[in-house]
Amino acid sequence: MTRQGIKKGLQFLAISLPCLFLGPVVIHSAFTNRAHPLFIPVLLIGIAIACFGAIIGFKGIRKIVGSL
């Protein structure tokens, strides 16, 4: 069990947590304002934030499991 690996994994999870909440909020905001000219860019940004959070979360879990 490596403390560095667990610490690094928890850091990844701490980074992913706000992204996993912020992404759906931005996506919902984009769908609420469909008539706005910036609908597509805001939607793409929300999807990118949500995907980034999921990927970083999985990397954090893999680091924690790998260090056990």
Question: Is position 68 within any domain?
Answer: no
Number of domains in the chain: 1
Question: Is position 55 within any domain?
Answer: yes
The string of pLDDT tens digits covering residues 21-30 is 999 999 999 9
- pTM equals 0.86
Quick check: 1 pLDDT over 90? no
Question: Is position 51 within any domain?
Answer: yes
| pLDDT score for 3 | 87
Question: Is position 40 within any domain?
Answer: yes
Q: Are 16 and 57 in contact (CB under 8 A)?
A: yes
Domain span at 55: 3-63
The string of pLDDT tens digits covering residues 31-43 is 999 898 999 999 9
| pLDDT score for 27 | 96
Please return the burial class of 39, using the count of CB atoms within 10 Å of its CB with bins 0-12, 13-18 and 19+.
Answer: middle
Question: Is position 24 within any domain?
Answer: yes
Q: SS3 of 1, please?
A: coil
